[in-house]
Amino acid sequence: MFEIDPCREAFRTLEKREASKVPPELVSLRRTAFSRFTELGFPTPREEEWKYTNVSPLLKHQFKFSIEQPANGLTAEEIHSFRLSGLAGAQLVFVNGLFSPKLSHTGELPSGVKAASLSEALIHDPGLVRPELARTAPYGRNGFTALNTAFIHDGAFIHLSRGSGCEKPIHLVFITQTPSGPLISQPRNLIVLEAGSRAAVIESYYFLDGKAYLTNAVTEIVLKEDASLDYYKVQREDARNGFHVATTGVRQDRNSRFFSFSISLGAKLEREDLNVLLGAEGSECTLNGLYLVSDGQHIDHHTVIDHLKPQGTSHQLYKGILKGKSHAVFNGKVFVREDARKSDAEQVNKNLLLSDEAGVDTKPQLEISNDDVKCTHGAAVGQLDEDALFYLKSRGLDDENSRDLLTHGFAADVINRARIDAVRMELDRELWAWLQNDHLAGETK
């Protein structure tokens, strides 16, 4: 069982190892977070926020904490397939949550742009890291976030100075390798865009071996005035043995722009929390999501958009396709606070069920405390339109192709919103493969 006690042991080991290296503020942050974790424990379905996601299958494993780099490192060839073809730009690789300089290359980053490991940044750039660390992803309510915070150790640190820009996307690759049994890795990422800067970041999660593991990631994003970030998250964990829990906290300043694109392809159980605070006037966010859920998977997306100040805009589109015995959860909350005049919030969640055993729980939620707003939300669960299917068949397509075409169209609506060609094309290939896979599986049955 994965319980609090082994976590405590691992926590002590970590503290001892790093006693001399770590700045005192971090020590106390970790301690506070750990004691909060022991109070919170792991969530249960009795909690409203976890009503539809039971993490008990995850807790059955005895995960070992990943604190140091495995001795036998990976080679560049082994991870070659994890590159997105056609994507040029810096690539930071993390194995079991720890930075691997050997596998990474930052090339020539434009001036003012930093992309490094968090553990290094804690030492070399404490002035940039410390004021923002653990501020946008509060650990008071979520046991997993508290646990990650208690073990803040490594991850990516991206910083763009005032007015700087990075044309090419920065790719963060997280790989889990489990040669010596079940493992928990806890990357901690911090992305800070100073006023007027712009960047694109891709965060991808992959796995290598077939043992059980848990990725418990936390990413914090801070967008200062007029900053603009395109943020892609591609989750391709092991659909049989991989557990993925992640919290992304975003804080936006005046007129900043956040564009996010979240793709869930893998994981036996995924829980993704994306919390955006539109903290100043005129900030804008666009959240897109697509989840392809196959037999045996459970995918849960929670989003919170908090309109705190006037003239904020948020647009949200999450779509899911389910087959086999699978389960998807969507919970999107939009808050419009008393001050947030002229807020414009739109949220849509649509789900397509391709099997009799699939289930969806969706809960779009609006809490509005200002009258001068325009807010809408919609949710739908259904199957392919019989009329559209009939139309395609009448044009000579067979049943299978017609269904695939319609299903593809359903997902393409989201995929086409990806603004990086490499990501869009990769996803399209991925989607066709996913649809084909279904038929192969069907034939072998």
Q: How far is the CB of 367 from another protein (least distance, A)?
A: 4
If you write DSSP's letter for every residue of 403-442 in order, what string do you get?
HHHHHHHHHHHHHTT--SHHHHHHHHHHHHHHHHHHHHHH
Q: How far is the CB of 372 from another protein (least distance, A)?
A: 6
Which residue, 50 or 82, is less far from another protein as judged by CB? Answer: 50
Which residue, 209 or 346, is less far from another protein as judged by CB? Answer: 346
Which residue, 337 or 408, is less far from another protein as judged by CB? Answer: 337
Which residue, 342 or 408, is less far from another protein as judged by CB? Answer: 342
Q: How far is the CB of 293 from another protein (least distance, A)?
A: 13
Q: How many CB atoms lie within 10 A of CB 210?
A: 11
Which residue, 9 or 339, is less far from another protein as judged by CB? Answer: 339
Q: How far is the CB of 105 from another protein (least distance, A)?
A: 46
- Can you give the length of the chain in residues? 445
Cα Dmax for the chain: 73
Q: How far is the CB of 380 from another protein (least distance, A)?
A: 5
Q: How far is the CB of 411 from another protein (least distance, A)?
A: 17
In Å, how far from its chain's centre is CA 295? Answer: 21
3-state SS class at 85: coil
Which residue, 376 or 437, is less far from another protein as judged by CB? Answer: 376
* Site residues, another protein (CB under 8 A): 48, 338, 341, 351, 353-356, 358-383
| Amino acid, res. 171 | H
Q: How far is the CB of 342 from another protein (least distance, A)?
A: 11
If you write DSSP's letter for every residue of 212-263 in order, what string do you get?
-EEEEEEEEEEE-TT-EEEEEEEE---TTTEEEEEEEEEEE-TT-EEEEEEE
Counting Cα atoms < 13 Å in the Cβ hemisphere of 8 gives 8
- CA-to-CA separations, 149 to 26, 33, 167, 425, in angstroms, rounded: 10, 6, 31, 35
Orientation of helix 421-444 relative to helix 399-415, angle to 10°: 150
Name 19's Cβ contacts closer than 8 Å, sequence gap at least 6. Answer: none
Q: 98-99 and 91-95 as β-strands: parallel, antiparallel, unpaired? A: antiparallel
Which residue, 108 or 356, is less far from another protein as judged by CB? Answer: 356
